[in-house]
Amino acid sequence: MQGRFRAVAQALAASAALLVAGAATAQPAPAPLAAGQSIPPAELAAYVDGMVERAVQRDHIAGVTVSVVQDGKVVFKKGYGVASLKPAQAVDPDRTLFRIGSISKTFTWISIMRQVEAGAMRLDAPVDTYLPPSLRTGNGAFGKPIRVADLMNHAPGFEDHVFGVLFIHDPAKLRPLDTWLAEERPRQVRAPGALISYSNYGAALAGSAVAHASGRPFEELVEGTIFEPLGMAHTTFREPRAPQAGLPPPMPAALVPDVSRAFHWNGTTLEQRPYEYLGQAAPAGSASSTAADMARYMLMLLNEGELEGARIYGPVAAQAFRTADTPAPAGRALRHGFFDQALPGGYVGYGHDGATMSFFSHMTVVPALKLGVFISTNTDTGARLQADLTPGVVGRFYAARDPFPPAPDPRLARHAGAYDGRYLQSRRAMSGLEGFVHRIAFGTDATVTPQGYLLLGGLMGANAYAPVGDPAKGGFVSVSDGAPLQFDMKDGRAVGAPLGAAYLERVGPLDSPGPLVLLGGLTALASVLTLIGLGFRSRQAPAGRWQRWAGRAQVLQAALWLGALLAFATFMQGAADPATIVFDWPSPTLVASSAMALAASVLTVVSLAPVAMAWREAGWAWRRKTATTLTALLGLALAALLLRWGFLAPWA
């Protein structure tokens, strides 16, 4: 990660002087089109074709489907690549079903607003009002009920669990929605309404509430009130599987042959993956659709709930989706479940992203431009294209083109201490082995460069931000896309920042990987030296009773620590494809590593007494006593840090 930071910093440093020199003379080119002008279809097609085809080659994406609407009609619709390798099947924008992930939630929010308009639900009411007793949340740990609006705003206060819970490969393990909700309820870790922290569980709970309020199963409700009236015949929350007692009926047989396969790029070739089942949390993400159907959906959204005489929702819901309704501090503003998106040229769209382990989708409508863009990719390398297409289209046709990105501010370097450090996303598991993995995967490191940029980096790479105004005030703008970033400051020090659908919370040095890696490396070295030392101990003077106990304990500890580290390294090697963690959780190697680390930690604590008593006996030389004591203290420090990180919990 530090190598990535250095590479980004060097590239920025090389361009900083050019920015300063060039910005004085270069002027932004005017926007090609004004807000009231439509994109010429041929130019739009050429731009989208070029962008998609470059990304397909660059990122090894198997298939892509795209639709664009403007001025009340479909202006672009196209499929690229393949939906299946065996048998070979090209992507058809009218027929090929892609998993749209969390875009599914927008149908859930519309269903709720329909019930609000009918007087059957209230946004300010506790969600328990509409849930059966087995699913009610009460006042939780914070003495405050979760409202329907809190679920729509992703602010119920739940921690987030994904591994082994949300996605599965075996349809025989699917559970009914209400059963899944009752059995997989996460802990509530903050008060409802206090903070946006994206919650799949909260969205699924909202889906159950609207189903109970309407008296209809969720899938049937959405089909009858949204899909069928809109003519979205190739959109469904149902999944391809055999009928199963207690579960909703599966996907209609006529749609199954058109379902796109999921793909993984392994660095050399594309591999077809098994189907990703999300039906147990259907309202949060199990929908599949085509580019053509999503075009009809966007036309309805842009027309405030109506398409070709079919009224999906009324003026109350239309106003709600035009209005931000988010708690503070917020990330991207939420319009009753739809996320705002800042776009080039000062335009603002609203819509939703969607992701499974293999599919990446994005839908945004821009009312000021009467424009809607949908894209979905079927490969785990598609995230970049999914994120770039809508800003690319708006920027290409409706934004002035500035040849220079936001410039750095050398004054920021004087405030490096205010921002440098480790930040963790609020959207994560807070304890146990999943919490441990989330601490690694969802961590963000902030670094201020000497030139005056802020770099935010994690496992996915680094992004650069330039200061806006006074560098001490916490305001920044993305160098790549102009997106704003505002840190919350306290006593001149950043404490966190909204970022997308989560909040970045600043943590201390002990919650950074550095100390863990350092202690792990030193403990491994000490363990190896302990085992090597077995071959030399026969030459030493006879040890005392406490020294013998201390020596035996440390040999066993060394074996356990090395076994734990080896098992963890094996786990990390297999985790190169994140899907292996999600679908195969809990990994036997990770559990074994945790169990051995727990045993080594307990043994370390137990051995402290013999190690201390060993100093009172004459058998060992002072060097042996010192080495044994330092080894015990190293093991104790590592055990304490692993306990803090939640790793010493093989049962969790």
Q: Count Cα neighbours of 383 within 13 Å in the Cβ-side half-sphere.
A: 9
Distance CA 375, CA 361 (A): 5
Residue with the larger pLDDT of the pair 535 and 233 = 233
Which one of 480, 507, 534 terminates a domain? 507
Whether residues 516 and 633 fall in one domain: yes
Q: Which amino acid is present at 633?
A: L
Whether residues 7 and 108 fall in one domain: no
Instruction: Note whether residue 651 is domain-resident.
Output: no
Q: Which amino acid is present at 395?
A: G
Q: Locate tokens 């509430």: which residue? A: 209
- Predicted confidence (pLDDT) per residue in 428-474, tens digit: 999 999 999 999 888 999 999 999 999 998 765 678 999 999 999 99
DSSP states of 447-461: EE-TTS-EEEEETTE
Q: Is the peptide bond before 578 cis (omega within 30 degrees of 0)?
A: no
Distance CA 515, CA 532 (A): 26
- Predicted confidence (pLDDT) per residue in 166-213, tens digit: 999 999 999 999 999 999 999 999 999 988 899 999 999 999 999 999
DSSP secondary structure code for residue 123 in this structure: T
Whether residues 474 and 541 fall in one domain: no
CB 85 within 8 A of CB 270: yes
Instruction: Note whether residue 183 is domain-resident.
Output: yes
Residue with the larger pLDDT of the pair 624 and 594 = 594
Which one of 336, 363, 378 terminates a domain? 378
Whether residues 79 and 148 fall in one domain: yes
CATH number of the domain to which 413 belongs: 2.40.128
For the beta carbon of residue 523, count every other beta carbon within 10 angstroms: 25
Which one of 477, 507, 537 terminates a domain? 507
Whether residues 177 and 283 fall in one domain: yes
Q: What percent of the chain has pLDDT over 90?
A: 78
Whether residues 294 and 417 fall in one domain: no
Instruction: Note whether residue 373 is domain-resident.
Output: yes
For residue 19, what pLDDT is reported?
46
Instruction: Note whether residue 291 is domain-resident.
Output: yes
Q: Total domain count for the chain? A: 3
Residue with the larger pLDDT of the pair 396 and 3 = 396
Question: Which tokens belong to 22?
Answer: 């060039």
CB 478 within 8 A of CB 387: no
- Predicted confidence (pLDDT) per residue in 318-363, tens digit: 999 988 777 655 556 888 999 998 899 989 999 999 999 999 999 9
Instruction: Note whether residue 145 is domain-resident.
Output: yes
* Section 541-553 average pLDDT: 84
CB 82 within 8 A of CB 63: yes
**Mean pLDDT over each residue of the chain, to the nearest integer:** 91
Distance CA 12, CA 30 (A): 26
Range of the domain at 104: 56-378
Q: Which residues are within 8 A (CB) of 388 and not within 5 positions of it... i.e. 6 or more apart?
A: 51, 55
Residue with the larger pLDDT of the pair 522 and 2 = 522
For the beta carbon of residue 281, count every other beta carbon within 10 angstroms: 25
Stretch (H or E) spanning 601: helix 588-614
Stretch (H or E) spanning 549: helix 545-574
Distance CA 175, CA 364 (A): 32
Whether residues 425 and 519 fall in one domain: no
Question: What pTM does this model have?
Answer: 0.91
Nearest alpha carbon to residue 634 among 557, 531, 556: 557
Region class of 229: left (phi > 0), else alpha (psi between -120 and 50), else beta: alpha
CATH number of the domain to which 75 belongs: 3.40.710.10
Whether residues 65 and 199 fall in one domain: yes
For residue 385, what pLDDT is reported?
97
Instruction: Note whether residue 389 is domain-resident.
Output: no
Instruction: Note whether residue 158 is domain-resident.
Output: yes
Whether residues 181 and 121 fall in one domain: yes
* Section 571-595 average pLDDT: 91
For residue 7, what pLDDT is reported?
53
Distance CA 49, CA 67 (A): 12
Instruction: Note whether residue 500 is domain-resident.
Output: yes
For residue 480, what pLDDT is reported?
81
- Confidence tier at 538 by pLDDT (50, 70, 90): low
CB 301 within 8 A of CB 365: yes
Whether residues 435 and 561 fall in one domain: no
Q: Is the pLDDT confidence value at 21 over 60?
A: no
Q: Which residues are within 8 A (CB) of 204 and not within 5 positions of it... i.e. 6 or more apart?
A: 177, 180, 181, 281, 282, 283, 284
Q: Is the pLDDT confidence value at 52 over 80?
A: yes
Residue 18's alpha-carbon distances to 449, 453, 589, 607, in angstroms, are 17, 15, 51, 62
CB 100 within 8 A of CB 294: yes
DSSP states of 552-564: HHHHHHHHHHHHH
Whether residues 172 and 303 fall in one domain: yes
Whether residues 221 and 368 fall in one domain: yes
